[in-house]
Chain A
């Protein structure tokens, strides 16, 4: 029983960075922008969060630094693609490379240091309960935040006017513009939100999961977050599910090896990706439905001629 609880705890830790990064990118893509620079924003968030924590000794400062740094990188993307109308795919890829390089540069003086342990919720009585205690009442604050964020995004996108406008811009920016909505301003806002979330996801890695800084420590998680958005068919709760599925398969395959199950680890390592591909095939099987899922103007440059 303890082992199962531990496995679930491991899954939560592995999934949370993906939840943050993918929910941010989901909002960005809902507004019709494709930012492939998630990996770059994550790694900048990772180093900013780590540096902030080390310099001030305060996790709050570290987390804020990560949010601001992620948003700052996203701002760069916004200026390039929304104001200067650069190609989104190329800019996003460049942003990833830029982020990895810049983070390595900033991080030079931080490699070899360890951050203190991140505090976890501890409610006397509740946290001590068997099984549900550690699972529900014993997480770190960022895990609760990640759930709140997904709930918030789901609510805003489907139940509020702001969400309606974001979706309208993503579906048809020319029409939204004609009605009088400030397309570029909204896209700046969603991009900044996406950057902040990616930064937070990176900080979760460098402060909570492995409290240290090493170059390239995001190791491709930004790309997985991008895939999860498609996997989720641009639906917030499904992106959370996807992140947990991905984290779950990763952790379970590690445990199954330690338990000595006779399965080739290469196959296990492949499983999360395999599951993603299968779901992608399933959701795009029906072309009409696939078109309904994806924002129609995703990745298209908007230029207001009038």
Chain B
């Protein structure tokens, strides 16, 4: 009797200890949520964000618990997903597409204790930080490469939506190309989607049919680079190294490296030092990297690109430096004037020289 009683007591004690331990673990773990606009397997934008999630897991191991939701469409659905992640007790939630901006702000109001981080947007709140990368820096460089490498003097550009992020990319590419090739033309096709490999390939084909011999894109799948490989022309990768899809076609690629940022921010939550911030990284802090330059590029073009990388990194050169005119001929930057981030973030016009009209 006494034995069984003491066993029982011991059992209860062990059980209680386990409960306590489990409780402690649950409290210790920092929960991190991610919302992705595309599938992880897109080999582009979302793929790179997911690499960031993996870096967080590798860095903190058992101390964090990560959750992600992929293929979340921009709009009302996003709000539901973000809300759900907040309700599940995530301490910090990264929403990784421009279109998640308003849903993030909305949900953040309802969950003041949860920390939110929104990529590529411009609306902040007490518990909403924003972070972005100056992709235009890389686009200026690939513009220069394209300007040097094109034989038809025509760049084909597949664009998603006419938001400042995309528009400044087109402008930067054009300015880079123009700086080395005064006859350059840029043809832009808006596909009104971030991710539809079939449509991206169709658009790429249309651009090639109309004389483009270098393709670049601001959409998320590797379809365009693959088409370039088939057609035997050059292309620039987007968001991640897409060399496997176009070993001969890819000249270089803009690589988004979110991992260090995600690790830093999650660490801040763990340490209790998280504060609202507004980070706009780029080549200088490593959030943007250039993929290894292809051996198809002549030495002098590689040298030019590397030199430009250094100049932008050091701040010696800014792709948007006056004198620059808008498409309609009105000046928006005086001679020597460097664009302000505010103007850049609201950029809704083509620079002078680009043909075609920008959709509203």
Contacts and interface: CB of A to CB of B under 8 A. Distances in A.
Contacts of B229: 114
A255 B187 CA distance: 10
Interface string B16-49: 0000000000000000000000111111000000
Contacts of A217: 197-198, 221
Contacts of B41: 104, 107-108, 111, 213-215
Contacts of A17: 198
B359 A258 contact: no
A17 B42 CA distance: 21
Interface stretch (B96-104, B118-126, B176-184, B201-209): B201-209
A212 B209 contact: no
B359 A254 contact: no
B70 to A, nearest CB: 8
Interface string A184-216: 000000000000000000000100011111111
Q: How large is the interface on B (under 10, 10 to 19, 20 to 34, 35 or more residues)?
A: 35 or more
A300 B352 CA distance: 61
B230 A251 contact: no
B190 A265 contact: yes
A254 B71 contact: no
A207 to B, nearest CB: 12
B197 A214 contact: yes
Contacts of B356: 257, 260, 262
Interface in A111-140: 111-114, 117
A221 B226 CA distance: 21
B356 to A, nearest CB: 4
B198 A221 contact: yes
Contacts of B223: 210, 212
Contacts of A104: 39, 41
B192 interface: yes
Interface size class, chain A: 35 or more
Interface string B40-69: 111100000000000000000000000000
B319 interface: no
B238 to A, nearest CB: 13
B206 A255 contact: yes
B196 interface: yes
Interface in A53-74: none
A219 B195 contact: yes
A87 interface: no
A288 interface: no
B197 A257 contact: no
Contacts of B71: 215-216
Given A10-B202, A210-B197, A3 B209 contact: yes
Interface in A241-256: 250-251, 254-255
Contacts, number: 125
B153 to A, nearest CB: 15
Contacts of B357: 262
B232 to A, nearest CB: 11
A38 interface: no
A169 interface: no
A254 B39 contact: no
Given A219-B193, A257-B190, A265-B192, A7 B198 contact: no
A112 B192 CA distance: 24
A258 B190 contact: no
A14 B355 CA distance: 27
A266 interface: yes
A219 B189 contact: no
Given A117-B230, A264-B360, A112 B244 contact: yes
B106 interface: no
A215 B198 contact: no
A10 B195 CA distance: 19
Nearest to A221: B198
B226 A212 contact: yes
A274 interface: no
Given A219-B199, A257-B190, A212 B245 contact: yes
B38 to A, nearest CB: 8
27 contacts: A3-B210, A7-B206, A10-B209, A104-B41, A107-B41, A112-B43, A117-B230, A210-B226, A212-B223, A212-B245, A214-B41, A214-B42, A215-B39, A215-B42, A216-B38, A217-B221, A218-B198, A251-B206, A255-B210, A257-B189, A257-B190, A258-B189, A259-B210, A265-B190, A265-B359, A266-B190, A266-B359
Given A114-B226, A210-B198, 8 more contacts: A10-B206, A210-B201, A212-B223, A212-B226, A213-B41, A217-B221, A254-B203, A254-B206
